[in-house]
Amino acid sequence: MSARETRNLILSALALGLAALLPFYDTGYLLSIATTMAMLTVLATSWALFSGPTHYISLATAAFFGLGTFVTGLGFQSLPFWSLPLIAAVLGAGLAALVGMVTLRLSGVYFVIFTLGLAELVRQIVTWVQNRTGQRGMYVLTSITERDIYWQLIALGALVYLVGWLIGRSRLGFALRIIGNDETVARHSGIDTALAKVILFMISGAVAAAVGALLAPRYIYIEPSTAFAPLLSFQVVIMALLGGTGRLWGPVAGVIPFTLLWEFIARHAPNQTLLLLGLTFLLIVYVLPGGFVGLYERLQRRFGGGRH
Amino acid sequence: MARTVLQVRDVTKRFGGLVAVANMNFDVTEHEVLGIIGPNGSGKSTMINLISGTFAPSAGSIRLNGTEIAGKAAHRIARLGMARTFQLVRLLPELSVVENVIAGAAFGYRRRWGAEAEAKARNLLERVGLGEVMNVPVSELTYINTKRVELARALACDPEVLLLDEWLAGLNPTELATGIALIHSLRDEGRTIILVEHVMDAIRSLCDRCVVMSSGAKIAEGTPQDVLSEPEVIRVYLGADDA
C-alpha cells in the first residue's frame, strides 16, 4: 500500500467516523436530512461502481430498492432484523444476475430503457400478486429509530467504499475500465466481458436491495407505487453524475449539494423538484461532463501541473 | 519438421446470402510469417475476424495447437494464445499508454499483473520504439505511435499467433520503412504471425508464404515471389488484359 493510499484510507475512516457522530448532536431535522443523504450516497456510490467504469447507465435502482423494502415488509415480524438486509442483498444479486445475463448484451440506450422497464415490471408483478391475495400495502411497525437506520447506512456505506476500493485495485476493476473504453478490445484481450459486467451489476443490485431493506421501517407504510418509484432511479443517476463517477468519492460530492437543494425546493416550491432534476441534468451535460470529480481534476491539472 | 500452430479447414462464412469466405484451407507453422493478400473485398479481414473470434464461421474448423477454436468467444480464443491488432486502430483513450499495454498483458494467454505486468509493458514499449512517449496521453500520439501501442498490447500476452490486420496501412514512406523493420524484428525473434497486407514491399520482405484470396476463396498459395507471378493472381489484381 502506498503512502497516498494509507492517507486516503485514514481520511475516509475519519470522515465516516465523524458522520457517525451526528446523531449525538441532533436527532431531529438534521438527522432526517443526513439519513436521506446517507441512503442516497450508498445508492449512488454502488451505482457508480458498475456504471462509472462501464458507462452502462442503469435505471434499475428502484427495482432493487423496492425489492429490499418488501423483504423487510414481509419478514420483519418472523425473522431477526439483521437477517433482512442480507436476504435482500442475496435476492437483489439474484435479480441482477438474471437481468444482467439477458440485458448486458444490449448496449447504449437499449440497456437504459430495459432497466427502466424492469422497475416498472417488478412493481406491476407485486401489485398483481397483492391484488390476487387481497392485500394492499404493508405496515412496517418496529422500534427501529431513525438513528439506528442512519448508523446502519453508515456501516453499509463503509462496506461499499471498501469493496469499491478493492475492486479498483483488482483485475476486475481494470477489466471494467477497458470494457468502458472499448468492449471489442476487451474481448480480444481475453476479458470475459459478460461475466465482469454481471458481477458488478450484482454487487450494485445487492447493495440497493440492502438499502431498501434498511429503509423500510422509516417509511412505516409501504406499497408498490412508493417502493418502486422510478424517481429514485433518476435521482441516483443524476447525483452520481453530478459528483462524478471517476473516483469513489465522486457520488457523495454530488449527493450532498443536490439533497440540500432538493430539500430547499421541496419546502418552498414543492412542485418544482422535477425542474431541479432536469436543470441539474443540463448542467452536467453542458458544463460538468465529468461531474465535480472532472472539474477537480481539470483544476488540479491547470494549477498543480508541476507536481505530476 | 516444424510444428503446425494454426490449422484452417474448409472454413466458410456467410452473411445472409453473401459468401464472404468460401472453403478456406491453410496451415501456419511455428515461427512462420504468413501473408493473406488479395484485392479489396476478397474476404481477408473476415478471415482474420473468424480466426480471432469476432465472428463464428458458418462451417469448417479452425484449430490452434490442436484445440478447436471455430465459434468460440473471442476472449476464450485470446486466452488460448491469439492476439490481434485492428484494421482501424483501437486504443483505450481514457487509459495511459502503459495501461493500454497492460490491458493486453493482464487477461490473455500469459497473464501478468501488478509490477510484473507494468515492467512487461514498459519493456515492450521500449521494444516497439515508444520509450520516449510512454507518459504522453493517448490522444496526443502520432498515427504510427498509436499503431505501435496497439502492437505492444497484442504482444503483451506472448501470443502463440499474432494477427496483424493491415498494420502498415496508412503510413507515410518513412514510417513504412520503420514499420517494416519493426515487423521484421518480430519475425527474427521467431514469432508466428499472420498478416493481412496490401503493401507489396512488405509482403515480399516479410512473408515466408502467402495465401491469395479472391471473392472469398483461395486462388493461390506459396512464396511471395511465386504467387505474385501467377497469371490468376495478376488477373485479379490488375484485370484480364495484363495477365
At residue B240, the pLDDT reads 63
Confidence band for A13, pLDDT divided at 50, 70 and 90: confident
Asked if residue B28 has pLDDT above 70, the reply is: yes
Chain-chain contact of A189 with B107 (C-beta, under 8 angstroms): yes
Residues 174 through 213 of chain A touching chain B, CB cutoff 8 Å? 174-175, 177-178, 180-182, 184-193
Distance, CA of B216 to CA of B214 (rounded, Å): 5
Q: What residue segments make up the domains of chain B, in order of their start?
A: 1-81+161-168+192-243
Query: Which residues in chain A have their CB less than 8 angstroms from residue B56's CB?
Result: none
ipTM (interface predicted TM): 0.91
At residue B81, the pLDDT reads 94
Asked if residue B82 has pLDDT above 60, the reply is: yes
Averaged confidence pLDDT in chain B: 91
DSSP for chain B, please give it: -PPEEEEEEEEEEEETTEEEEEEEEEEEETT-EEEEE-STTSSHHHHHHHHHTSS--SEEEEEETTEE-TT--HHHHHHTTEEE--SS----TTS-HHHHHHHHHHSSSS---THHHHHHHHHHHHHTT-GGGTTS-GGG--HHHHHHHHHHHHHTT--SEEEEESTTTT--HHHHHHHHHHHHHHHHTT--EEEE---HHHHHHH-SEEEEEETTEEEEEE-HHHHHT-HHHHHHHH-GGG-
- Percentage of the residues of chain A whose pLDDT score is greater than 70: 98
Confidence band for A142, pLDDT divided at 50, 70 and 90: confident
The mean pLDDT value for A96-100 works out to: 90
The mean pLDDT value for B90-95 works out to: 92
Asked if residue A237 has pLDDT above 60, the reply is: yes
At residue A129, the pLDDT reads 87
The mean pLDDT value for B197-224 works out to: 91
Higher per-residue pLDDT: B70 or A267: B70
Picking from B78, B90, B99, the nearest residue to A190 by CB comes out as B78
Instruction: Kindly report whether the global pTM for this prediction surpasses the value 0.90.
Output: no
Distance, CA of A12 to CA of A9 (rounded, Å): 5
Reference B159, options B237, B51, B231, B238; nearest CA is B51
Asked if residue B228 has pLDDT above 50, the reply is: yes
The mean pLDDT value for B90-118 works out to: 93
The mean pLDDT value for A56-71 works out to: 93
Say if B102 is an interface residue toward chain A (CB within 8 Å): yes
At residue A308, the pLDDT reads 42
Could you identify the residue written with the cell 430539500?
A: A263
Q: Each residue of B46-62: pLDDT tens digit?
A: 999 999 999 999 999 99
Considering the four listed CATH numbers 3.90.580.10, 3.40.50.720, 3.40.50.300, 3.40.640.10, the one that applies to the domain covering B1-81+161-168+192-243 is 3.40.50.300
Picking from A171, A180, A190, the nearest residue to B75 by CB comes out as A190
Higher per-residue pLDDT: A139 or B28: B28
Confidence band for B1, pLDDT divided at 50, 70 and 90: low
Q: C-alpha cell of B83?
A: 492476439
Query: Which residues in chain B have their CB less than 8 angstroms from residue A184's CB?
Result: 54, 86, 90
